[in-house]
């Protein structure tokens, strides 16, 4: 067994890659040997840092190219600093801690503005501050997390009892580091109090009537901890609430602002009445946690889910209110984990220019799983309120952007999502631990005593150690079954190997209540079966401790272990694996790690296993037990170098650095101002001759999946009818739709002019006949384009062809978004290289469509023709004094371009210039202010367009109509 070696990784360009290319995919190692969570190594994410003084050009969309700009802001520590030959364990620990501290210090120079620094990074930071002075970062960080770092015990009239909260140690270590005096940041944590432990002498809220029957002296006293108390809840007077807030805000470790959660009626000026405190975590744990770990509920009527969703929204709203109480412009807000996924969107609505980052500590599932969530759109939209979204693994980030495209229809790539006209960056930031702290604790005297006791107790035995939460995603059952398989396959190890499994109680309410899982019973059955089959009076192969153990006991177990075994079936960032590496400085015990764990990609030198392959896990246990010491030392050195260099300080500094990069790049984006309604109305009323040009889809009606469903609303028809009745107004619909569609929905409105198929056909107001502007153009190209479109329609289910008289459009809005986008690009290339070279046509990319039309036909030509025609008309005298042109698509940019040209003052040799006064010409794009456009104004939604048109037409505001409706009764 000593000759067994790990498979050699395959790199692009290797001869091996060419040799295996002839094999079918299921036999290629490059396919079968890649973990579910792909490797995340320094080489993958770090660019060449040999020239760090040069600020590179902004990246062009490649995922890893963003790292180059990050390095220009604050260079990363080199992982090789903790992998030097001859370094002692303590030197690695000290170097990693020092490098992480220096990393955050370099970043702080940029943000806080320590211009006195003469370092290279300080000069780079100063350069960025000069380029982006309006970023105005204050150096304040607000971290929003669900639970405060303490468990609380209430003591009436006295200071609250605060004990460290179990779990999330890496996150709380990051908070402690940001809050330390060594860091020039002002850090505040905003978090829920968590469930408050109820003391014995619980006060009651004012006016509470006695509960239960009146007792006689012979009756036994009621139990204060019984059901009556649970129904009554916990009353906390205002003075005790203020006492806790003072304690937390003056903590010498982490300054915390608590969020009190209760119904409005239970939160008064006198105090708060806490009832069913677990309700605030119920939706996140019942719906999100389970789904994110690939567990799906049975269908139900949704009534309980509706109640839980309401609590989830209210809880996120309370967080938003509390953050806004302490927020100042220029502060950075970092939101953590799935409990607060609506919070970024809520904050963005209330403070549009807030700097927001979101980090998900759990896995994120594929779109096929996530789309099962009834509230999927609201959850995604909430997260997209952030400027930056961080994940533990690249596969999680890839799933997220895919969900945004497949479920919300937003364009995305590996670097982020284009949502509502803004760019939301996505990145991978594997969390680390405070390696120096763990090393200090692991070699304390109390831990060493327990370690020596364990070594004496299990002298002559090999110890396999596992510490997991007792829930279905930690793979405890799979671990026990694999160990049973190991004892079956390798009988020589019986009586020589002991598995010590510690399973702490789950804090997920869903796991506690679900009778179908029966995890605890299943684990106990497996333990009994293994011990009964392979144990004896003097030997027990599995020791199961279903309990919390002290920190000293935990670290002593990790030090005494010969193998660390982690078999989670779906996990975020399992910090036990990182702590195990620190604790193995002496014995160098191998780490066996599930490829479904978030740490699998970071700890590339660990032994990766598939927990569902029991025989494979058993083989790797034997491999680890027989591994030569030299190989174990090499594995330990590599893992230790990673854990000590990529520590918690590196994680939080890297995350902040990326956020600063994103914020700085956003400042380069030009915003289109919102349409000024007062100026618009003033110019409209002063003009004697007015011209209106409206696009249809996305302007007068919202974009819909099925084009035939884009029917104008009653209000649109009323507004257009009323507007066209004024003899001073010329109202035109300039659309890519064909004549039949426009006539069917708007043809009954007298006074409307129409331009169909992007200007191919024109019908003057009051006329019945259409003029074909492309009549003399050879349409022989359509046959060739139709053949190409048909081939791609056959390849892409859900796509279809729309055949117009002068244009052909291939729609893929109903197809798989990723497949449709990919095939549209392929189709575009093919058309450009064939048909477009033979014919005078252009290939246009639209919203989930591809259109081919003659080059001389576009909306800009129609807009120009209308202005020149009405300016030369003798009626009403003079030129057009008011133009309102609205559109949302890139084809409408042709209109904006033509109008901008007509507004330019006349110049020598120019033709048609100076036809319009710039101040009276309103080119308006529909969409986000950050979209690239030639328009001078913008409106966010088609609804805003409709209300502008209705207002100019003299219709009453929409809210007046709403006032006529009966006010709904409270539920």
Q: Residue 92 in contact with residue 119, Cβ under 8 Å?
A: no
For residue 192, give the 3-state DSSP assignment. strand
Give 881 or 3, the one with higher predicted confidence.
881
Over residues 819-848, mean pLDDT: 89
What does the alpha-carbon distance between residue 901 and residue 899 come to, in Å, rounded to a whole number? 5
Tokens 């916990």 correspond to what residue?
A: 234
**What pLDDT shows up at residue 635?**
92
CB 891 within 8 A of CB 914: no
- The tokens for 634 are 């090499």
Higher pLDDT, 667 or 781: 781
Indicate the average pLDDT of the chain: 80
CA–CA distance, 312 with 314 (Å, rounded to integer): 6
Q: Does 51 score more than 50 pLDDT?
A: no
Distance from CA of residue 542 to its chain's centroid? 41
Q: What are phi and psi of 402, to 5 degrees?
A: -65, -40
Report the alpha-carbon distance of residue 305 to residue 286 in Å, rounded: 9
**Which CATH architecture describes the domain 677-776+857-906+913-953?**
3-Layer(aba) Sandwich (3.40)
Q: What is the pLDDT of residue 72?
A: 45
- pLDDT tens digit string along 97-144? 666 555 555 555 544 444 343 344 334 334 444 455 667 888 899 999
In terms of pLDDT, which residue wins out, 170 or 65? Answer: 170
Are the C-beta atoms of 686 and 880 separated by less than 8 Å? no
For residue 964, the model assigns a pLDDT of 36
Count Cβ atoms within 10 A of the Cβ of residue 247 and give its class: 0-12 exposed, 13-18 middle, 19 or more buried. middle
How large is the average pLDDT for residues 314-330?
Answer: 95
E strands present in 546-648: 563-566, 591-594, 607-609
| Span 263-271, average pLDDT | 90
Instruction: Give backbone dihedrals phi and psi of 399, rounded to 5 degrees, phi first.
Output: -65, -40
Query: Which span out of 46-60, 399-413, 868-882 was modeled with the highest average pLDDT?
Result: 399-413
pLDDT at 519: 80
* C-alpha distances out from residue 717 to 208, 458, 721, Å: 59, 85, 6
**842 DSSP β-pair partners:** 853
Write down the pLDDT at residue 932: 80
Domain range list for the chain: 129-195+234-428, 435-646, 677-776+857-906+913-953, 780-853
On the CB side of 202, CA atoms within 13 Å amount to 23
Q: Which has the higher per-residue pLDDT, 395 or 197?
A: 395
Q: Does the pLDDT of residue 968 top 50, yes or no?
A: no
Same fold, 129-195+234-428 and 435-646: yes
How many CB atoms sit inside 10 A of residue 861's CB? 17
Average pLDDT over residues 517-535: 87
In this structure, of 336-345, 372-381, 847-856, 907-916, the range with the lowest mean pLDDT score is: 907-916
Confidence of residue 586 (pLDDT cuts 50, 70, 90): confident
User: pLDDT: is 553 or 228 the higher one?
Assistant: 553
* Calpha distance 237→155 (Å, rounded): 11
Determine the longest span between alpha carbons in the chain, in angstroms. 112
Asked if 875 contacts 739 with a C-beta cutoff of 8 angstroms, the reply is no
Fill in the DSSP letter of residue 72.
H
Q: pLDDT band for position 786 (50/70/90)?
A: very high
pLDDT of 404 strictly over 50: yes
Q: What percent of the chain has pLDDT over 70?
A: 78
What is the structure's pLDDT at 905? 60
Mean pLDDT of 383-393: 94
Whole-number pLDDT of residue 668? 59
pTM of the model: 0.73
Which ranges of 604-760 would DSSP assign to H, the alpha helix? 614-625, 629-645, 648-666, 677-686, 714-725, 739-746
pLDDT at 579: 92
DSSP state letter for 200: S
- Count CB-CB contacts under 10 A for residue 127: 14
What is the mean predicted confidence (pLDDT) over 618-633? 94
**Mean pLDDT highest for which of 135-144, 397-406, 875-884, 900-909?**
397-406
Report the CATH architecture of 780-853: 2-Layer Sandwich (3.30)
CA distances, 500 to each of 306, 523, 576 (Å): 42, 13, 15
Range in 13-22, 216-225, 730-739, 857-866 with the lowest mean pLDDT: 216-225
**pLDDT tens column, 493-524:** 999 999 999 998 776 655 555 544 578 888 99
Contact 28, 20 (CB under 8 A): yes
Q: Band of the pLDDT at 830, cuts 50, 70, 90? A: very high
Only one residue has tokens 């120009």, namely 864
d(CA 8, CA 245): 56
**CA dist 174 → 149, 218, 432 (Å):** 11, 57, 9
- Look up tokens 């607060």; give the residue: 340
Nearest CA-CA partner of 102 in 124, 76, 120: 76
Tokens at 772, concatenated: 């074909």
Mean pLDDT is highest, among 449-458, 699-708, 854-863, for 449-458
pLDDT at 138: 82
pLDDT band for 722, please (50, 70, 90 cuts).
very high
Residue pair 257/188 in contact (Cβ under 8 Å)? The answer is yes
Of 632, 552, 529, nearest in space to 587 by CA:
632
pLDDT above 60 (res 960): no
Q: What share of the chain is helix, strand, coil (3-state, %, to 5)?
A: 45, 15, 40
Q: At which residue do the structure tokens 């060419």 appear?
A: 18
Q: Are 669 and 915 in contact (CB under 8 A)?
A: no
Q: Is the model's pLDDT at 456 over the cut of 80?
A: yes
* Residue 46 confidence (pLDDT): 37
Helices (H), 754-816: 781-795
How far apart CA 120 and CA 842 sit, in angstroms, is 51
Taking the C-alpha atoms of residue 663 and residue 108, their distance in angstroms, rounded to an integer, is 15
Q: Which pLDDT band holds residue 54 (cuts at 50, 70, 90)?
A: very low
Q: Find out whether 878 and 916 touch, Cβ atoms under 8 Å.
A: no
Residue 685 CA neighbour count, 13 Å, CB half: 9
The pLDDT, as a whole number, for residue 563 is 94
Which CATH number does 435-646 carry? 3.40.50.2000
* DSSP class per residue in 405-430: HHHH---EETTEEEETTEEEEEEE--
Nearest to 854, CA basis, from 837, 868, 841: 841
Residue 317 is predicted with a pLDDT of 96
Give residues with Cβ within 8 angstroms of 954, minimum separation 6: 722
Q: Give the pLDDT of residue 353.
A: 86
Q: 586 CB contacts (<8 Å, ≥6 apart)?
A: 559
Q: What is the arithmetic mean of pLDDT over 7-35?
A: 41
pLDDT of residue 364: 94
**Buried-state track 814-833, b at ≥16 Cβ within 10 A, e below 16:** bbbbeebeebbeebbeebee
CB 637 within 8 A of CB 83: yes
Q: Token pair for residue 463?
A: 């110890």
CA angle 486, 491, 496 (to 5 degrees): 85
- Are the beta carbons of 706 and 811 closer than 8 angstroms? no
Q: Looking at the predicted structure, is the pLDDT value of residue 626 above 90?
A: yes
First-residue to last-residue Cα distance in the chain: 70
Rounded Cα distance, 961 and 428, in Å: 49
Cβ neighbours around 459 below 10 Å, total: 7
Q: Quick one: pLDDT at residue 330?
A: 87
CA distance linking residue 215 with residue 218, whole number of Å: 8
Beta-carbon count within 10 A of 768 CB: 7
What confidence score (pLDDT) does residue 206 get? 54
Please tell me which residue, 812 or 514, carries the higher pLDDT value.
812
CB 638 within 8 A of CB 83: yes
What CATH architecture is 129-195+234-428? 3-Layer(aba) Sandwich (3.40)
Whether 923 shows a pLDDT value over 80: the answer reads yes
Whole-number pLDDT of residue 516: 42
The pLDDT value given to residue 108: 52
Which one has a higher pLDDT value, 23 or 589? Answer: 589
Question: What pLDDT is stored for residue 104 in this prediction?
Answer: 54
């Amino acid at each position: 067994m000593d000759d067994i070696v790990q498979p050699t990784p395959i790199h692009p360009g290797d001869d091996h890659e060419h040799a295996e290319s002839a094999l079918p995919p299921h036999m290629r190692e490059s396919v079968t040997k890649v973990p579910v969570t792909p490797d995340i190594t320094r080489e993958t994410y770090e660019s060449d840092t040999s020239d760090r003084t040069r600020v590179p050009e902004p990246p062009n969309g490649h995922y890893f190219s963003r790292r180059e700009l990050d390095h220009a802001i604050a260079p990363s520590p080199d992982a090789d600093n903790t992998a030097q030959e001859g370094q002692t364990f303590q030197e690695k620990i000290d170097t990693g801690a020092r490098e992480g501290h220096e990393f955050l210090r370099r970043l702080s120079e940029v943000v806080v503005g320590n211009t006195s620094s003469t370092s290279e990074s300080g000069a780079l930071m100063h350069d960025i501050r000069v380029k982006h002075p309006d970023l105005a970062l204050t150096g304040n960080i607000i971290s929003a997390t669900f639970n405060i770092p303490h468990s609380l015990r209430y003591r009436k009239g006295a200071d609250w009892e605060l004990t460290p909260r179990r779990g999330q140690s890496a996150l709380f270590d990051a908070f402690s580091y940001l809050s330390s005096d060594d860091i020039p940041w002002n850090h505040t944590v905003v978090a829920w109090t968590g469930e408050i432990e109820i003391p014995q002498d619980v006060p009651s809220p004012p006016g509470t009537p006695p509960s239960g029957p009146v007792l006689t002296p012979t009756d036994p006293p009621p139990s204060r901890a019984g059901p009556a108390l649970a129904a009554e809840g916990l009353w906390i007077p205002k003075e005790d609430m203020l006492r806790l807030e003072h304690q937390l805000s003056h903590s010498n470790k982490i300054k915390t602002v608590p969020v009190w959660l209760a119904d409005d009626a239970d939160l008064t000026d006198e105090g708060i009445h806490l009832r069913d405190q677990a309700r605030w975590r119920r939706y996140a744990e019942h719906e999100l946690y389970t789904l994110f770990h690939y567990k799906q509920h049975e269908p139900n009527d949704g009534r309980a889910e509706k109640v839980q969703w309401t609590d989830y929204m209210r809880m996120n709203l309370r967080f938003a209110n509390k953050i806004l109480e302490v927020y100042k412009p220029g502060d950075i807000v970092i939101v953590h984990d799935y409990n607060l996924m609506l919070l970024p969107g809520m904050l963005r609505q209330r403070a549009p220019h807030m700097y927001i980052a979101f980090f998900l500590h759990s896995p994120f599932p594929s779109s096929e799983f996530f789309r099962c969530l009834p509230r999927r759109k609201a959850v995604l939209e909430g997260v997209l309120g952030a400027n930056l979204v961080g994940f533990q693994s690249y596969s999680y980030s890839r799933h997220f952007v895919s969900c945004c495209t497949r479920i919300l229809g937003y364009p995305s790539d590996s670097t982020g999502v284009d949502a509502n006209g803004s760019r939301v960056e996505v990145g991978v930031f594997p969390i680390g631990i405070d390696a120096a702290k763990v090393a200090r604790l692991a070699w304390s005297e109390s831990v060493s005593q327990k370690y020596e006791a364990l070594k004496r107790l299990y002298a002559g035995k090999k110890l396999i150690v596992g510490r997991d939460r007792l829930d279905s995603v930690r793979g405890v059952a799979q671990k026990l079954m694999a160990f049973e398989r190991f004892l079956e396959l390798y009988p020589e190890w019986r009586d020589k190997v002991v598995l010590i499994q510690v399973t702490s109680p789950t804090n997920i309410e869903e796991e506690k209540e679900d009778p179908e899982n029966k995890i605890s019973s299943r684990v106990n059955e497996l333990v009994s079966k293994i011990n009964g089959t392979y144990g004896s009076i003097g030997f027990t192969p599995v020791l199961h401790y279903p309990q919390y153990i002290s920190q000293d006991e935990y670290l002593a177990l990790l030090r005494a272990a010969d193998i660390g075994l982690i078999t989670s079936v779906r996990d975020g960032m399992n910090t036990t694996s990182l702590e195990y590496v620190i604790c193995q400085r002496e014995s160098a015990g191998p780490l066996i790690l599930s490829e479904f764990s978030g740490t699998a990609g970071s700890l590339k030198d660990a032994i990766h296993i598939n927990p569902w392959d029991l025989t494979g896990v058993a083989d790797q246990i034997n491999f680890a037990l027989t591994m030569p010491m030299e190989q174990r030392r090499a594995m330990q050195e590599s893992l230790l170098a990673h854990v000590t260099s990529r520590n918690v300080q590196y994680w939080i500094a890297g995350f902040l650095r990326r956020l600063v990069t994103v914020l700085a790049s956003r400042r380069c984006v030009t915003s289109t101002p919102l349409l000024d309604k007062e100026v618009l109305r003033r110019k409209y009323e002063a003009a004697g001759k007015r011209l209106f040009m409206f696009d249809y889809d996305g302007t007068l009606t919202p974009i819909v999946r099925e084009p035939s469903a884009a029917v104008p609303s009653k209000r649109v028809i009323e507004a257009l009818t009323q507007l066209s009745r004024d003899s001073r107004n010329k109202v035109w619909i300039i659309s890519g739709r064909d004549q039949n569609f426009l006539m069917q929905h708007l043809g009954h409105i007298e006074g409307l002019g129409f331009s169909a198929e992007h200007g191919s056909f024109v019908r003057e107001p009051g006329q019945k006949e259409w003029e074909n502007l492309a009549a003399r153009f050879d349409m022989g190209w359509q046959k060739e384009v139709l053949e190409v479109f048909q081939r791609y329609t056959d390849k892409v289910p859900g796509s279809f062809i729309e055949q117009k008289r002068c244009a052909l459009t291939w729609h893929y809005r109903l197809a798989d978004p990723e497949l449709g986008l990919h095939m549209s690009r392929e189709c575009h290339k093919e058309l450009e290289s064939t048909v477009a070279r033979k014919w005078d046509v252009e290939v246009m990319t639209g919203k989930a469509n591809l259109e081919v039309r003659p080059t001389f036909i576009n909306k800009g030509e129609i807009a120009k023709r209308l202005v020149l025609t009405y300016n030369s008309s003798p009626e009403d005298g003079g030129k057009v004094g008011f133009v309102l042109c609205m559109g949302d698509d890139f084809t409408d940019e042709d209109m904006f371009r033509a109008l901008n040209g007509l507004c330019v003052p006349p110049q020598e040799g120019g033709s048609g210039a100076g036809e319009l006064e710039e101040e009276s010409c309103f080119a308006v794009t529909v969409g986000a202010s950050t979209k690239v456009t030639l328009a001078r104004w913008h409106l966010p939604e088609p609804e805003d367009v409709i209300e502008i048109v209705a207002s100019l037409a003299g219709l009453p505001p929409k809210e007046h109509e709403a006032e006529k409706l009966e006010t709904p009764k409270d539920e």
